[in-house]
Amino acid sequence: MRLEGLALKYEHADNVSTDEIWPGKYTYVQMNPEEMVGHAMEGFDPDFARKAAINSILIVGKNFGIGSSREQAAECIKYAGIQAIIGQSFARIFYRNAINIGLPVIEAPRLVDSINHGDRVVIDLESGLINIGDNVFEVSPFPAFVQDLLRHGGLINMLRRNR
């Protein structure tokens, strides 16, 4: 799988909580993806959806997605058009949430410093090679079954196809 887009970088975006990404008041309201985009990251950057429509590789700091297990936190980011998140580190539950809905999250502490807002980012998930502008970086690729999950667009789709 090859992903390509412009970087949407938030400087010093450490410990961004799921309460900020998807406020608790919406957690038990059923919404369709379009409605969800309107509230994505509302408590962190109300202008996020507009930016994500143009820059589709999200770059964040450490421990992104700390807190509640609410899955909409990963979903709203995906629905807003983000193809992948590169961060210094991720909270465990958010990390699994994202993978399981088919949103690649790449933990690469050093890489984050090398990316500027607006850089063209090309990610090859199979090889783990990431191009930032003219520079090439390497991260450990996902295990085979995670790649399979991502190729299917998440766990639900994979279960449906393999049933």
Partner 1 sequence: MIERAFSRFASRAVKAGDIVIVEPDRVMSHDNTAFIIKKFKETGYSEVWNPEKIVIVFDHCVPARTPAHSQNHDEARRFVRDAGIRHFIDAGEGVSHQIMMERGFVLPGQLVLGADSHSTIYGALNAVGIPINRTEMAGIWATGEIWLKVPQSIRVAMSGALPAGVYAKDVFLNILKLLGGDGATYRCLEFAGPGVSGLSMSERMTLSNMAVEVGAKAGIMPFDDLTRDFLEGRTMASYEKIAASDQAEYERNIEIDLSQLQPQIACPHQVDNIRDLADVAGTPVSHGYLGSCTNGRIDDLRTAADILDGKRIAKGVRLVVYPASEEIRSVAIAEGILDRLARSGASIEASACGPCFGAVGATLGAGEVCISSSNRNFRGRMGSRDAEIYLSSPAVVAASCLTGKITDPREFMQ
- Per DSSP, 64 falls in state B
Q: Which residue has the tokens 């309201």?
A: 29
Residues 156 and 162: their CA atoms lie apart, in Å, by 10
CB nearer partner 1, residue 134 or residue 160? 160
Query: Contacts with partner 1 in 70-89 (CB under 8 A)?
Result: 71, 89
Specify the residue, 56 or 68, whose C-beta has the smaller distance to partner 1. Answer: 68
Residue ranges in 95-124 that form contacts with partner 1 under rule CB under 8 A: 96-97, 100-101
The single residue listed with the structure tokens 């202008």 is 47
Going by the DSSP 8-state scheme, the letter that residue 120 receives in this structure is: E
Among 7, 10, 20, 85, binds partner 1 (CB under 8 A): 20
The residue among 23 and 133 lying less far from partner 1, judged by its C-beta, is: 23
Whose Cβ is closer to partner 1: residue 12's or residue 143's?
143
As a whole number of angstroms, the distance between CA 81 and CA 19 comes to: 20
Name beta bridge partners: 90: 64
Q: Which of 120, 129, 106, 48 is nearest to 81 (CA)?
A: 48
Binding site for partner 1 (CB under 8 A): 15, 17, 19-20, 23-25, 27-30, 43, 62-63, 66-69, 71, 89-93, 96-97, 100-101, 143, 145, 154-156, 159-160, 163
